[in-house]
Amino acid sequence: MYILEILNWDGKYRSKLKYANDRVKSLNSPVSDMMRQGIPEKNLCLLFCGGSKCKYCNPSSFFDETEMHLNGLYSTWITQNILATSRPSEKIIEEFDIIKQFKRMNICSIFNMQTAGEHSSCGYGVLSSGFSYDPLSFMKNNISFYNFSWCDYDVASLQFILDTVTVIQFAIFKGKIAVHCHAGLGRTGVIIACYLVFNNRISAEEAIQYVRFRRPGSIQTQNQVGCIYKFEKYLYLYRIYFGSHGQFSLEAFLKRQNVLLHGPERRRLRNIPKIIYMCCKLLVRIIVTGCTSVQIDSSNHRNRIVSDENNCQSTKKLPTTSVTQSEVFTSCQPDETTKLTNATVDCTYGENSQNQNVDNNQSIGASSVLEALLTTEYPESVVNETEYWKKKFNNDPEAWDDFDKTSFNPLVLVKLIDDWLTHLKSPVLRMQDLLSLQQNPLFEEDILTSLEIFEKPVVCLMSLFAKLITYLQPLPEQMEHLLIERVLNWLCQKQSKPLNVTTNTKKFNEQFIICYHTRFDDLLQLAFRIMHFLIKFVKSKCTLIESVDLWFKSIPISQ
């Protein structure tokens, strides 16, 4: 579930911002900024804070109730889940029963942005913990404590900020949070603004203006303002699920994905792209429930696997492609064209099928998914809907929640898989993977050993597709072979239509044999065999990669 922070703007205030196109500026003068960065922290504390009379350490003596949303602390609710506050002290915690207030407001976590020992001359000083309070005071009451040390009036690294906001996002799933530094204005304002940029995908300018609107005086120096703008740019690459052709590799994408994910989802998707995972999940849901945005006549659904060309849903075997040596990964040449007949489909779902006791909805769902998986040309409506979701994934923070709740034409899900895998910088199954298959014998009885030659993401993707195919079982051998070929086309980045290349197939094969002492088709046949063995293994053992198997078992069939 995704939690979008609600931004409660004042209408008049926000309307003024629409006409202000200037970049947001520092609240301090350039001279003041330079002084704060050049003077030692202890001297800064004496000059600007007031020592024991610091108003931020004695809020009740300087601020009225409207400026203390949490009684006893200079605090403001920035959103429905995030409270910005000045630092608490043991005296204030006890006098104003801060713990009880936290419990009443459902504040489950406190984020401390201070460094240990800072502002030791302010208010009541610091304890042996290095802070004005003992973190155990909160932790003993089941309130999580997080310390992200950030020097006062300074800016943190962009990676540090990203690490912090991902933890904040995780903490908010448990309940509301309180964030503080010293006054709860500079570092606190920056990290909350960065979180809104990260979580709500708003601009840096809007985030700064909103935090300042809710808590005047926040985000003080020009460096702090600039830090939020830089963070917005830094996040851009992490958010791209669909880019231009060859923009990123599988390895690079997974590294970026793992930075943004957290908790169980991160563990589950450590080696699987979320877009592929979600598309397969929804395809399985269609198989199990028969729920799809396309209406299928239950009396004719067996025969609709063979579609006419006018509907652009041909399930004929993928065409042979001629390639150059530099495009060696984009070819997966079938032995010969296979024509699917109604009899073949009836063999899959007919009266003699082992699947005859399965619910009719599941049979309809399996039929529609099988048809989609064997389709290589897509209607314009499917292409348009696919493009819509690509843009939504790149720009909308709620895209994944909406995606999971949508009833899809399975063709859209298949095209998303197709487009994502074929636009990677390099194929999932690379040349070195195919060559390693030749050097290592395949053992059907010990498929796990054979898979050890591949990297984990390759194994997980192959296992994911193998599991998907098992949901379509029982299938005639010919049909299963077509599905395996389709999967290998994706993994090897084979194009659906013949490429316009100058080198003919014969010359390519001759050059390939000279370079690698084997035929390319022979390597593909080895990959075919390992997928075939993997499907048999998954069917017999019902488990392989824990994350994949647990996911399939947990798919809610009621949705």
* CA dihedral (250, 255, 261, 265) positive or negative: positive
Q: Which one-letter amino acid corresponds to residue 327?
A: E
**Scanning the structure block, which residue is given the tokens 């606190």?**
188
Structure tokens at 121: 């001359």
For 149-208, where are the E strands, in sequence order? 176-180
Checking 29-36 for CB contacts under 8 A at 24+ apart, the result is 30/222, 33/221, 33/222, 33/223, 36/153, 36/221
Q: Cα–Cα–Cα angle for 124, 127, 132, nearest 5°?
A: 50
85, β-bridge pairs:
75, 180
Instruction: Indicate the helix (H) or strand (E) that contains 489.
Output: helix 477-491
Please tell me whether residue 245 adopts helix, strand or coil conformation.
coil
Give the 3-state secondary structure of residue 154.
coil
Cβ partners under 8 Å of residue 403, min gap 6: 278, 282, 389, 392, 393
- CB 342, CB 315: distance < 8 Å: no
The Cα 23–Cα 228 span in angstroms is 12
Angle at 555 between CA 549 and CA 557, to 5 degrees: 140
Question: What is the residue type of 365?
Answer: G
- The span from the CA of 368 to the CA of 359, in Å, is 15
**Residues in Cβ contact with 335 at an 8 Å cutoff, skipping those fewer than 6 apart:** none
181 annotated active-site: yes
Token pair in block for residue 176: 């509301």
Report the C-alpha gap between 488 and 521 in whole angstroms. Answer: 12
**AA letter at 195:** Y
* DSSP bridge partners of 107: 176
Percent helix, strand and coil across the chain, each to the nearest 5:
55, 5, 40
- Give the span between the Cα atoms of 542 and 524, in whole angstroms: 26
Catalytic residue among 49, 54, 181, 492: 181
Cα distance between residue 209 and residue 335, in whole Å: 63
Rounded distance between C-alpha atoms, residue 323 and residue 489, angstroms: 14
The 3-state secondary structure of 410-466 reads HHHHHHHHHHHHHCCCCCCCCHHHHHHHHHCCCCHHHHHHHHCCCCHHHHHHHHHHH
Which has the closest alpha carbon to 108: 137, 135, 142? 142
Catalytic residues: 181
